[in-house]
Amino acid sequence: MKFLDLAKVYLRSGSGGNGCISFRREKYIEFGGPDGGDGGGGGDVWAETVDGLNTLIDFRYQQHFFADNGRPGMGRQRTGKDGDDIVLRVPVGTEILDEDEETVIADMTELGQRVLLCKGGNGGWGNLHFKTSTNQAPRRANPGQPGVERTVWLRLKLIADVGLLGLPNAGKSTFLAATSNARPKIADYPFTTLHPNLGVVGVDGKEFVVADIPGLIEGAHEGRGLGDLFLGHVERCAVLLHLVDGSSGTLLEDYDTIINEIEQYGAGLDDKPRVTVLNKIDTMDDEERAFLREELEARSGGKVLLMSGASGEGTTEVLRALRAFIDEKRLREAPEDDSEWRP
């Protein structure tokens, strides 16, 4: 089971522009000297860590990054325009690997870190450069150097911000599918190997990662050993989202089952902030909603949100509640040196 986000990208820096062959032409000057300018440099391809990203999902939509070519030099000593650089914006924590998927080219651990992946080709010299004492009218200029092509992998260890809890059939997958529709489930990446019950959801322009973790609780329950990787992820969750199926007819028992499992599991899971949701409210009328909510609030000792993953009702409020806990945790953990802060 891997919580890794992977993306393969194709990069190419720009070629340099050709140098120019040209001679001065002015009134009263019969044989003007060479005045051909140099070609512009080709654009580079860089990677840079930026704020506000915590997945590689953008690279699902764009995999080719080609920087612009430099423009050729021109007469009257004019240098060609440089090609624009192109910058891959990646989250902090991204590793960049060579095509072999083993050689690490760069480990992007700090905010604002920049690494050059493909250098643009140099522009060629114009004939101005080739003037010598013996040759005052060189008919020679250099071509621009070609750009560099390269394929690299981006690899990011995903941090699950939210752990999704609930009995089988509570509606976890439905919730993930409904809330991650604008940003598709990570499992749908054509180029990743991920646990399927993991999704990226977005609310108010920020995204976070929700991981379905009941498998892990069942595992603990049966006394099976669990990988450190997995535990690490749960420990780093900012908040747990507990979905309780309001249509099961066994609301409080269902709730207790999960709470017992959390307590047995240990690893600080029961100290995590929790958002409790009464799900499948599309099956109930207002009276039933109010009644079940009251029951659940009394049992959980906290606020209960109402939601239907199927109809979408209440999902935004749930996402916002999760978001608030995530923001709070990130603020709390922000070091004095804010370079590691990851929104």
Ligand X SMILES: Nc1nc2c(ncn2[C@@H]2O[C@H](COP(=O)(O)OP(=O)(O)OP(=O)(O)O)[C@@H](O)[C@H]2O)c(=O)[nH]1
Using CB under 5 A as the criterion, which residues of the chain lie in contact with Mg ion when the complex forms?
Answer: 172-173
20 binds ligand X (CB under 6 A): no
Kindly state whether residue 279 participates in binding ligand X, applying the rule CB under 6 A: yes
* Edge-to-edge order in the sheet of strand 94-97: 64-66, 4-12, 149-157, 94-97, 104-108
Q: Name which of residues 309 to 338 contact ligand X (CB under 6 A).
A: 309-310
- Which span sits near ligand X by CB under 6 A: 134-142, 257-265, 279-287, 328-336? 279-287
Q: Is 187 in the site for ligand X (CB under 6 A)?
A: no
In the complex, least distance from residue 89 CB atom to Mg ion, rounded to whole angstroms = 32
Annotated ligand binding at 168? The verdict is yes
Residues from 49 through 108 that contact ligand X (CB under 6 A): none
Within 10 A of 156 (CB to CB), how many other CB atoms are there? 22
Q: Does residue 248 belong to the site contacting ligand X (CB under 6 A)?
A: no
DSSP bridge pairs for 94: 108, 156
Site string for ligand X, 149-178 (x = CB under 6 A): -----------------x-xxxxxxx----
**Where in 69-218 does DSSP place strands (E)?**
86-90, 94-97, 104-108, 114-118, 149-157, 162-165, 198-203, 206-212
Task: Work out the angle at residue 108's Cα, subtended by the Cα atoms of residues 146 and 104, and round it to the nearest 5 degrees.
Answer: 65
- Output 77 or 169, the one with its CB closest to ligand X: 169
CB atoms within 10 A of CB 290: 12
The label of the residue with tokens 């309001």 reads: 246
Choose the binding region for ligand X from 13-21, 44-52, 129-137, 303-311 (rule: CB under 6 A): 303-311
Residue 66, SS3?
Answer: strand
The answer to whether the Cα torsion of 130, 131, 136, 137 is positive or negative is: positive
Binding residues for GTP: 166-173, 191-195, 212-215, 279-282, 308-310
Question: Where do contacts with ligand X occur on this chain (CB under 6 A)?
Answer: 166, 168-174, 279-280, 282-283, 308-310
